[in-house]
Amino acid sequence: MLNVCQNCGSYRIDKIIDPAGPFAVCPDCNHKHSFLYLPLLFVCGASGTGKSTIQNLLLGRLNTAVILDGDILWRPEFNTPENNFQAFFETWLRLAKNIAQSGRPVVLFNAGSLPDNIEPCVERRYFSDTHYLALVCHDTELKQRLRQRPAWRKCDDAFIKEQIRFNRWLNKNSRKTTPMLELLDTSEDSITQSAEKVALWIQEKIRQP
């Protein structure tokens, strides 16, 4: 547990990060310990843009990163838009931080993994960089994909309208976030082609010094 000081035993999420080591420094006793300071990658986007299908295609293919689906930790009590789903994302960052200590960065596929939700998190400090890729597509294509889903997915008109709104927001605001969202339009490519582009993006980001 990286949040527990190896010297005084204090549990501190807010350790001071010294990139020179890199070291995590206990605010209570100033003890510092080394850790792997790796990047963290996010693939976000509206439902229907290809996140889950691409994530499944990449599983077992990239041995340089750990690819995870954000929904596996979702619980109703995490549904707190009033504070940008803070508990949900703090939990994910804590898990990703610990996974990274095995030597491979995490790539999280999750619809709402936006800079405004991630960057303010206390656990964000344990990653050297964060990179964001938003999958988008044309409104008509998105609507068609969602209407083709089975009934249990509950893609009614209200849900489709909300996904189109989010998709448009990503297209309009991608350059306004910090860090900026990179966009990948999946409208015209096959799902295999889109997966290949996502794989190349992941490899590019984790190879950065």
Q: Has residue 209 got a pLDDT over 60?
A: no
pLDDT value for 2: 87
pLDDT at residue 207, rounded to an integer: 84
Q: What is the tens place of the pLDDT at every residue in 80-100?
A: 999 999 999 999 999 999 999
Q: Residue 50: is its pLDDT beyond 80?
A: yes
User: Residue 43: which of 124, 120, 136, 119 has the closest Cα?
Assistant: 136
d(CA 66, CA 106): 5
CATH number for the segment(s) 36-206: 3.40.50.300
User: Tell me, what's the pLDDT at 208?
Assistant: 58
What is the domain partition of the chain in residue ranges?
1-35, 36-206
Instruction: Look at residue 19 in the predicted model and tell me its pLDDT.
Output: 95
Q: What is the pLDDT of residue 55?
A: 97
Tens-place pLDDT, residues 51-63? 999 999 999 888 8
pLDDT at 3: 93
Using the predicted structure, report yes or no on whether residue 164 has a pLDDT greater than 70: yes
